[in-house]
Amino acid sequence: MTENLNIGELLRRQRQFFATGQTREVDFRLAQLRRLKQAIADFEEPITEAVRADLRRPELEGTFELSCLAEINYALKHLKRWVKPKRVSGSLAQFPASSKVYPEPLGVALIIGPWNYPFQLVISPLVGAIAAGNCAILKPSELAPHTSKVVADLIGKTFDRHYIAVVEGGVEVSQKLLAERFDRIFFTGGKRIGKIVMEAAAKHLTPVTLELGGKSPCIVDADIQLEYTAKRIIWGKCINAGQTCIAPDYLLVDRAIKPDLIDAMKATIESFFGSQPQTSPDYARIINNHHFARLAELLKDGNIVVGGETDESDRYIAPTLIDGISWESPVMEDEIFGPILPVLEYDDLGDAIAQINARPKPLALYFFSRDKNKQKRILAETSSGGLGLNETVLHVGSPTLPFGGVGESGMGSYHGKASFDTFSHYKSVLKQTFLFDIPLRYAPYKGKVDLMKSAIKK
């Protein structure tokens, strides 16, 4: 544990600091966001080196961890507007009162990060917590130990631990944290652990934001630009060796275009990573031996079209396309979270939509087609956390697009204003005047019923 305190004592001191009211001041929040921004700039090299040590991430993909800077810049630009109370209209029954909605901080937040983007996905929620005026405890993933240490060092050198603190450790530490009462828990990770987090939060009636995952489908119509489609799918699947929560999990391809698309994707893999991707400097590795073994087992089903090579000593699994599978195949049971892409086919778009709707709602859904009517149909007839039309993954990088799941892929959202909203309570305030008083609501009620009904209905 980073702090030389027990967790209960740390939480108590953070509550004491929150009670001083400092975090409510907008100038304080802006100053802390600027400090965080500067700290990330100062730690840029250690961050990218740590991510490379944990995931063998290529340098360019390592810079994805710094995308939280865009979140900070967006919050700095808009925070003064976000914190202002909003006047809302009232009903005739409330006349002459005025009504406003005030955003206020929740208190102390717990942010639990994942291992696949171990810096970005713990710092980006923190931006929202700071902007909304909260204190926070961060728990980075122990499966990415180098990055966890960098997060602890950066936060420890930037903030008073009674305001923002990092607690490192494994499952036991997470269990101790979840046993405490927080004012918001923000968790990014898998569905199984998400259920544990939600169960623990329920004991204290703590609100939760769950950023989970699921099997994100990628539907490919026959009417496409073949080269761009292949590139965008392979890129979305292979960044971070497929260990991305919104990576295309499987393809559902119009039968007429399937052979051409497979050929184009095979060519794309070679153009990206060469004939031997293991030697490419631009291809990451699997996080640990457990996940390597899990992924290697999935290669035993179907017909491998390209890839399939593995090296346990290097935690390497090649970019792989698998054909000849069914909806009941093992590779279609759970989120793959690796560089393996199953290919299924369809003849009728309605059948493809029905197959997707028969399964849990995914975190992302992708549809490639020039046909605007089909695009509208996908938009209207499917449900997913996010939707990419003729693109994969990029929607996650915009502060103007709320990011989150639906159903089993999560609850709540963040990024930009949505992050501020997640860590805020919107308090409704009605202010009445003493200048006069309307007696309609008071007893005796005789002769007032029709007037009251009229007031309520307007």
pLDDT tens string 265-295: 999 999 999 999 999 999 999 999 999 999 9
Q: Residue 14: its pLDDT value, please?
A: 97
Same domain for 232 and 152, yes or no, is: no
Q: Residue 4: its pLDDT value, please?
A: 44
Q: Residue 458: its pLDDT value, please?
A: 66
What total of structural domains would you count in the chain?
2
Residues of the domain holding 378: 217-404
Same domain for 121 and 105, yes or no, is: yes
* Beta bridge partners of residue 247, listed in sequence order: none
pLDDT above 80 (res 1): no
- Longest Cα separation, the chain: 88
Q: Would residue 357 count as lying in a domain? A: yes
Query: pLDDT tens for residues 297-351?
Result: 999 989 999 999 999 999 999 999 999 999 999 999 999 999 999 999 999 999 9
Same domain for 307 and 180, yes or no, is: no
In CATH, what number is assigned to the domain containing residue 348? Answer: 3.40.309.10
Structure tokens belonging to residue 236: 């979305």
Collapse the DSSP code of 41 into the 3-class scheme (helix H, G, I; strand E, B; otherwise coil) and give the result.
Answer: helix
pLDDT above 80 (res 227): yes
CA distance 433 to 438: 11
Same domain for 194 and 225, yes or no, is: no
Q: Residue 3: its pLDDT value, please?
A: 43
Q: Residue 327: its pLDDT value, please?
A: 95
pLDDT above 70 (res 5): no
Q: Would residue 431 count as lying in a domain? A: no
Q: Would residue 180 count as lying in a domain? A: yes
Collapse the DSSP code of 379 into the 3-class scheme (helix H, G, I; strand E, B; otherwise coil) and give the result.
Answer: helix
Same domain for 85 and 105, yes or no, is: yes
Q: Would residue 162 count as lying in a domain? A: yes
In CATH, what number is assigned to the domain containing residue 44? Answer: 3.40.605.10
CA distance 76 to 277: 41
CA distance 235 to 284: 12
Residue found under tokens 């991430």: 57
Same domain for 223 and 198, yes or no, is: no
Q: Would residue 122 count as lying in a domain? A: yes
Query: pLDDT tens for residues 8-66?
Result: 999 999 999 999 999 999 999 999 999 999 999 999 999 999 999 999 999 899 889 99
CA distance 12 to 56: 39
Amino acid code (one letter) for 148: S
Same domain for 400 and 252, yes or no, is: yes
CA distance 166 to 164: 7
Q: Would residue 234 count as lying in a domain? A: yes
DSSP 275-316: S-GGG-TT----SSHHHHHHHHHHTTSSEEEE---EEGGGTE
Q: Residue 389: its pLDDT value, please?
A: 98
Same domain for 14 and 140, yes or no, is: yes
Q: Would residue 447 count as lying in a domain? A: no
Same domain for 205 and 228, yes or no, is: no
Q: How distant is the alpha carbon of residue 152 from its chain centre?
A: 21
Same domain for 393 and 309, yes or no, is: yes
**Any idea which residues carry the catalytic annotation?**
211, 245
Same domain for 376 and 252, yes or no, is: yes
DSSP 165-210: EE---SHHHHHHHHTS--SEEEEES-HHHHHHHHHHHHTTT--EEE
Same domain for 202 and 310, yes or no, is: no
Tell me if 118 sits within 8 A of 51, measured CB to CB.
yes
Query: pLDDT tens for residues 345-396?
Result: 999 999 999 999 999 999 999 999 999 999 999 999 999 999 999 999 999 9
pTM, rounded to two decimals:
0.94
Query: pLDDT tens for residues 174-191?
Result: 999 999 999 999 999 999
Neighbours of 332 (CB within 10 A): 19
Query: pLDDT tens for residues 409-447?
Result: 999 999 999 999 999 999 999 999 999 988 888 899 888
Q: Would residue 70 count as lying in a domain? A: yes
CA angle 39–43–49, rounded 5-degree value: 155
